[in-house]
Chain A
Amino acid sequence: MAKVKFDILESTCVPLPFENVDTDQIIPARFLSATSRLGFGDNLFCDWRYAKTGEKNSEFVLNNPDFSGKVLVTGKNFGSGSSREHAVWAIFDYGFRAVVSSFFADIFMNNALNNGLLPIVISDDLLKKLTTLVQNKPNTKVKIDLEKQTFTILSTGDSVKFAINPYKKDCLLKGLDDIDFLLNMKNLITGYENNKSLAK
């Protein structure tokens, strides 16, 4: 678990307009043999980012010098497949702090929130508009305000409220994590076990 604070983020975006981007694409299984959380960013989207020879694939957006920023804008059903948290570690380690899509896979969403990477769901229409805008004008900036739960495209003024679980929002704003929260509940947990004769 990581204790990461998030409040306001203003940044340009990196567009990755594909649907169903699964966690095997985000970080292929052959990189999962590590035993620490660090360094996965080097292999983020490895098989799209590098040719088999190890050279950079110039067509891939992460290798395009026009695009940079802390916000990844991607297609629906992002993060499907394997539960590997390494996918979130890789995205975070690369430098992203938020991912914008119209739809996220469940486990990815939980993993992201547990690591201070903010998953933001916007409508299909706004996602389409944002993606086109960013592709045409790479200097397009967005502003994310977690306290107000607003997502704004600064150049157009499009602004929407995004949803987030209030508990998770509070954790991110204060930089708290679930384990501290649960450790403080040990008596309650032991009480539950005693009630069910589970404390073995």
Chain B
Amino acid sequence: MKSKTLFDKIWDSHVVRSIENGPDVLYIDRHYIHEVTSPQAFNGLKERGIPVFRPGKTIATADHNIPTKNQHLPIKDELSRNQVEKLTENCQKYGIELYGLNHPKNGIVHVIGPELGYTLPGITIVCGDSHTSTHGAFGTIAFGIGTSEVEMVLATQCILQPKPRKMRITVDGELQKGVTSKDIIMYIISEISASGATGYFVEYCGSVIRSLSMEGRMTICNMSIEMGARGGLITPDETTFEYLRKLPAIPGIDDLKSSINEWRKLRSDSDAVFDRDLKFDAGLIKPMITYGTNPGMGMAIDDSIPLSDENGNKASSSFLKSLDYMGFKPGMKLLGHPVDYVFLGSCTNGRIEDFRAFAQVINGRKKADNITALIVPGSKKVEEQMAAEGLTELYKSAGFEVRQPGCSSCLAMNEDKIPQGKYAVSTSNRNFEGRQGPGARTLLASPFTAAAAAITGRITDPRVFINKEQKVKK
């Protein structure tokens, strides 16, 4: 039998039919939906007069468009309120489980999927959101889709999809102190560019990836899309199974032990062939920061902005337009540059470990006066954990206000916008023009680096605050 990658094995076992010269009809085990990309899909079902084919396989949450303050009050913005209400209506009408606003388990779709035990090894997951790649951390084929495809899955539990090519990214070596999974993935993207993996599905391998916690793995897989990849996955192992064992419940799994025994078989064959194979040395990775307007425009925090774009073109209009938007010049250093806002949260860095890491840097220090901070847990569960571990109190006494869960300032659909021209060190995933509000200037970084900026009011190397005795969280 021909040797296969983990991706091949999961994909091939979900193909209902291969269309000659066309895409595959791929069966979807779990479908996550949210308020922003689903209403038009439900309208489509209504126009066709058809039901949701397998309502039990879709779960819903409201996250993108909700406020992070006073969630018990009606949403002020009329369009946002209408969109959230539409989701509730549609879920009721079609019999879909909803973890909506004010549900005790509400949160960002890519944070609650794993928390609630819906994300499992070996399955296929889609969601009308490009960061669906997050769930690949469990050894899952998970990818973002458009609204027409959401309608397709609601109508038939299947999707028409050409099979992507396969890329293997291996990270070996010794990770330096103060360097996190966020820095690893930002480094990889800066090396291969924001389109370097377009057309591929990535498998992340190597000793450094294996040493990461599930939270760290989710951060890596989450940003696969930022280098253009369809998704990214990691072979499930003891770390994965331990995470699953600790969950209060896993819907649809009666005998976890025997499931785990099955999941142990999920791995690429040793002689499996990848279309592209990349290797990185973790020892070379430093805390990272972006300087431009796509996630490929990243560098080590103590580096200088390059003099030319990725192709060595100094006069590239896109490169210069990007730096101009940021208020930066080629060759400039960013250390010490003043910052106005800090955002900790999002589906990239909104999990409990991220709030612990940020707190590790605060460590009794106070927020800088010039900083407005948005501290936004990824879910109600994370919010509860923060309170239980004393983190909420620690943040408060350092001058930080902890908000209620949601996507918040990552895409600024709600009122959590960064004002025109202001600089925000953000733990989210995109530094596009206007992403965090019209004219906002985003500097992507890890929770450590965000915390260092929050304390000093400037772009600061977080390694200054991570002393040798402290155990470094990955």
Q: Answer yes or no: are A and B bound together in one complex.
A: yes
Interface residues, chain A, with chain B CB atoms under 8 Å away: 1-2, 17-20, 22, 24-25, 28-30, 32-37, 47, 52, 75-77, 80-86, 88, 103, 105-107, 110-111, 114-115, 165-168, 178-179, 181-183, 185-186, 188-189, 192-193, 198-200
Q: Known: A19-B318, A111-B148, A179-B152. Contact between A47 and B22, CB under 8 A?
A: no
What's the least CB distance linking A200 to chain B, in Å?
A: 5
Contact with A along B195-231 (1 / 0, CB 8 A): 1001100000000000000000000000001001010
Q: Are the C-beta atoms of A77 and B228 separated by less than 8 Å?
A: yes
Q: Which of B91-99, B101-109, B257-265, B429-437 contacts A (4 or more CB under 8 A)?
A: B429-437
What's the least CB distance linking A26 to chain B, in Å?
A: 10
Q: Are the C-beta atoms of B79 and A77 separated by less than 8 Å?
A: no
Q: How many angstroms between the C-alpha atoms of A4 and B25 in the bound complex?
A: 21
Give residues 436-474 of B contacting A (CB, 8 Å): 438-439
Q: How many angstroms between the C-alpha atoms of A82 and B198 in the bound complex?
A: 14
Q: How many angstroms between the C-alpha atoms of A106 and B225 in the bound complex?
A: 10
Q: Known: A24-B433, A178-B148. Contact between A185 and B16, CB under 8 A?
A: yes
Q: Known: A28-B438, A77-B194, A111-B146. Contact between A106 and B318, CB under 8 A?
A: no
Q: Please, how many residues of chain B have a CB less than 8 angstroms from a CB on the other chain?
A: 74
B364 contacts chain A at the CB level, 8 A cutoff? no
B54 contacts chain A at the CB level, 8 A cutoff? yes
B58 contacts chain A at the CB level, 8 A cutoff? no
Q: Are the C-beta atoms of B146 and A33 separated by less than 8 Å?
A: no
Q: Are the C-beta atoms of B156 and A36 separated by less than 8 Å?
A: no
Q: Name the A residues within 8 Å of B50 (CB-CB).
A: 183
Q: Name the A residues within 8 Å of B146 (CB-CB).
A: 83-85, 88, 107, 110-111, 114
B3 contacts chain A at the CB level, 8 A cutoff? no
B160 contacts chain A at the CB level, 8 A cutoff? yes
Q: How many angstroms between the C-alpha atoms of A188 and B53 in the bound complex?
A: 14
12 residue pairs from A and B, CB less than 8 Å apart: A2-B148, A33-B83, A35-B83, A36-B40, A105-B198, A114-B146, A178-B148, A178-B152, A182-B25, A185-B158, A188-B25, A189-B156
User: Closest residue of chain B to A77, judged by CB?
Assistant: B195
Q: Known: A29-B411, A85-B146, A103-B198. Contact between A167 and B22, CB under 8 A?
A: yes
Q: Name the B residues within 8 Å of A20 (CB-CB).
A: 194-195, 293-294, 296, 318
What's the least CB distance linking B89 to chain A, in Å?
A: 10
State the total of A-B contacts with C-beta under 8 angstroms: 190
Q: Known: A25-B432, A36-B40, A183-B50. Contact between A80 and B21, CB under 8 A?
A: no
What's the least CB distance linking B34 to chain A, in Å?
A: 11
Q: How many angstroms between the C-alpha atoms of A76 and B434 in the bound complex?
A: 20
Q: Are the C-beta atoms of B434 and A25 separated by less than 8 Å?
A: yes
Q: How many angstroms between the C-alpha atoms of A11 and B136 in the bound complex?
A: 43
Q: Name the A residues within 8 Å of B27 (CB-CB).
A: 189, 192-193, 198
User: Closest residue of chain B to A200, judged by CB?
Assistant: B56
Q: How many angstroms between the C-alpha atoms of A76 and B196 in the bound complex?
A: 12
Q: Are the C-beta atoms of B430 and A114 separated by less than 8 Å?
A: no
Q: How many angstroms between the C-alpha atoms of A177 and B37 in the bound complex?
A: 19
Q: Identify the interface centre among B21, B29, B86: most chain A CB within 10 Å of its CB.
A: B21
B370 contacts chain A at the CB level, 8 A cutoff? no
Q: Are the C-beta atoms of A80 and B413 separated by less than 8 Å?
A: no
Give residues 391-441 of B contacting A (CB, 8 Å): 411-413, 420, 430, 432-435, 438-439
